[in-house]
Amino acid sequence: MKRDRNVKIVATLGPASDDYKMIRALHEAGADVFRLNMSHGDHAEIKVRHEIIRQVEQDTGSPISILADLQGPKLRVGVFASEDGEDLEVGQSFRLDLDDAPGTKDRVQLPHKEIFDALEPGAHLLVNDGKIKLRVKDCGRDFADCEVLVAGTISNRKGVNVPDVVLPLAALSEKDRKDLEFVCDLGVDWLALSFVQRPADVDEARKLSKGRAAILSKIEKPAAVKSFDDILAVSDGIMVARGDLGVELPVQNVPPIQKQLIRKCRAAAKPVIVATQMLESMIESPMPTRAEVSDVATAIYEGTDAIMLSAESAAGDFPIEAVTTMNNVAVEVEADPTYTDIIEASRATDGKTVAAGIVAAAREIAETADIKAICCYSQSGTTALLTSRERPRVPIIVLSSDENTIRRLCLSWGTTCVKSVKVVDRFKTAVIEAIRAATATGIAQKQDMVVVTAGVPFNTPGSTNILRVAPCDESLILAGASE
C-alpha cells in the first residue's frame, strides 16, 4: 500500500480497536505499524489482535509491522490505611520503607529493596507521574527518610520514579520474560524494551529473543540518555518515550533531547519513533489542539522515522480520526519546501563503506535525473536502512523474499515494502523484480526509469555494491545481454 508520505504511523491497539473492521480501517487510514501494549490485555487478547493484523495484511496485500511493547518493571508504593490516601505538605518528613503495614501520613511501604540499595542522601523520588516530589535526607538498606518538596495526595500503588540514580534492576521482569517468549512465538516483528538504563539490558533481550524479533529500546530514563550512544549501538531501533522522560527530567530538556536522539538514530541508519501524548486530546475529541498538531509536525520536520498514537487509538473515542489527522499533518509537512531543506541540511553518512557510497550515489542520480524511484533488493534490510537514511526525494521501493525483513522495514522512513516472489540470485532478476514492483505499485510507468541497487553475491548482509539505472519496460531488460 503506497502512502502519500514518508514518515510512518504507529497505532496502538486496545479496547477501542480490537476487531477486524476497526483494525483494517486504521490501516487503510494510514497506520503502517500496530503496537501491542503488553501492559494491558492478557495473552489470549494479544493473540487475537495479532491474528487479525495478519488477516488484514493478507486481505489487503500490504505488509504490516507488529510491535510488542514490553511493560518493564513497575515501581509503586504500597497501600494506605485510608482509602483516599494521605495529603502531604511541603516541608514535612515522610518515610519510605519495606514494612508492609498500611501507610499513614508519615510513611508508606516501598516494596523495592533495589531502590534502597541505590539511594543516597540528596537523591529525588517522584511519585504519581511527578505530582509529588521528595528529597532523600537519610537512607539505609530498608528505609529512606524524605522531605516533601512538592505537595500532593499520595494514595494506593502510585508509581515511583527515581531519576538521579541507575537502579540495580533488570529491564526485563519475570512478566516481561514470559511476554517476550509469547510474542516471539506469535511472530511479532519488533520488541520494544522498557526501563532501559544500560546496553546490557538490550543484550539480555536480544539473547532471549534469539533473532525472532528486532529490538527497539525505549529511551525514558536519564541514565539511558547519558548512555545513549552505547545503547544505540546494540539496538535495532529507538523509541523516544517522552512520557516518563518528561517526568524524570525537567520538561524543558525533552525537546532538545528528542532532536539530538533523532539525529543520532538517522546517522546510524536505525529507525526512531517519537511517542507519547502526540494527539492526546483526541482521546475524547474528534479535533486535536493546535499545539498537538505542531508537536506532530515538529517531529516530522526533525526527520523521525515514525510517530506514534497510544491511548488515542487504543482506548479513545476517535481512533480513525486520530490516524487520519496524523496522516494529513505528515502529508502537509512533507509538501513544504522547508521540510526538504531541513532534511537535506541534516543529512549524515559514515562515508566509509561501499554500501554507503552506493546508496548516496543512487540518491544523487535519482534527484538529478528524471528517476521515479530507488529500488533496493535487500535480503537482510541493510541496503534499505542505508537508503532510508539518505532521505531521498523519490520513493524507496524495498524488495526482499524474506517476509520478516519486509515487515520490519515497514517502520523505516520512506519505504514501500514489496515481497519478492522468489529468492534472487542474479542482478538481472533483481532488476526485473524491481521494475515490476515499481509499476505494480503505481510509482512508475512503463516509460519511466528507476535506480536499482543490490549486493553481489546475493543474500550477504551489507554487501551492497552495484547500481543500475533501468527502464521500466521489462522487454528492454529481457532483450539485454545476459549477466
Active site members: 35, 76, 218, 276
Residue 81, SS3 per DSSP? coil
Query: Taken in order 405, 410, 411, 416, is the CA torsion positive or negative?
Result: positive
Q: CA torsion, points 252, 253, 258, 263, in degrees to nearest 10?
A: 130
Q: What sections of 315-469 are H helices per DSSP?
A: 319-334, 337-345, 354-368, 382-390, 403-408, 427-440
* Cα–Cα nearest to 449, from 365, 362, 372, 366: 372
Cell of 23: 483494525
* Cα–Cα nearest to 392, from 371, 417, 419, 420: 371
DSSP string, 146-210: EEEEE-EEE-TT-BEE-TTS--S--S--HHHHHHHHHHHHHT-SEEEEPS--SHHHHHHHHHHHT
Measured distance CA(310)–CA(301) in Å, rounded: 21
Measured distance CA(180)–CA(170) in Å, rounded: 14
Contact 146, 96 (CB under 8 A): yes
Instruction: Sort residue 210 into left (φ over 0), alpha (ψ -120 to 50) or beta.
Output: left
- Ranges of beta strands (E only) in 207-364 are 214-219, 237-241, 272-275, 306-309
Measured distance CA(210)–CA(341) in Å, rounded: 41
Burial of 428 (0-12, 13-18, 19+ CB in 10 A): middle
Q: Which residues contact 74 (CB under 8 A, 6 or more apart)?
A: 159, 173
Query: DSSP assignment, residue 143?
Result: E
CA count, 13 A, side-chain hemisphere, 151 = 9
Q: Which helix (H) or strand (E) holds 127?
A: strand 124-127
Measured distance CA(360)–CA(340) in Å, rounded: 16
Query: What b/e string do you get for 453-475 counting C-beta neighbours within 10 Å, with b at 16 or more?
Result: bbbeebeeeebbbebbebbbbee
Contact 399, 429 (CB under 8 A): no
Q: Partners of 241 in the beta sheet?
A: 275
